[in-house]
């Protein structure tokens, strides 16, 4: 684990599987827990989420696109990579719509 901020264990976001909810939440977590990776993502002139998406909001088709899926997967991988020893990042075993950092014993 290569973070400077102590990771809050437990739920980051729950009761949703929508990309338009998960991506902003996971981006915030990457910014806090993996700042170097976040800076790399923001190097592009437009950042990881295209500007028009923010203009169009939740109804934008981009949230269901392959690009959004790749971004979500990448964010998921970064957060899994910063999980403390003995923990994983992902959906809670008892609730597939509750994402956060959980003890490995709960897998």
Give the chain's mean pLDDT: 91
100 against 46, higher pLDDT: 100
Which residues on neighbouring strands pair with residue 10, listed in sequence order? 101
Sign of CA dihedral 49, 16, 25, 3: negative
Taking residues 14-19, report their average pLDDT.
96
Contact, 9 vs 101, CB < 8 A? yes
Lowest mean per-residue pLDDT among 1-5, 90-94, 103-107: 1-5
Instruction: Delimit the domains of the chain by residue range.
Output: 10-106
pLDDT of residue 45: 65
- What is the model's pLDDT at position 62? 96
| Predicted confidence (pLDDT) per residue in 18-35, tens digit | 999 999 999 999 999 999
């Amino acid at each position: 684990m290569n973070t400077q901020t102590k990771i809050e264990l437990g739920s980051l976001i729950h009761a949703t599987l929508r990309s338009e909810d998960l991506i902003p939440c996971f981006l915030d977590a990457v910014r806090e827990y993996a700042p170097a990776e976040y800076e790399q993502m923001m190097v592009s002139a437009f950042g990881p989420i295209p500007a028009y998406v923010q203009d169009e909001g939740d109804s934008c088709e981009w949230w269901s696109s392959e690009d959004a899926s790749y971004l979500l997967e990448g964010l998921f991988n970064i957060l899994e990579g910063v999980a403390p020893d003995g923990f994983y990042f992902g959906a809670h075993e008892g609730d597939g719509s509750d994402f956060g950092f959980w003890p490995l014993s709960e897998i």
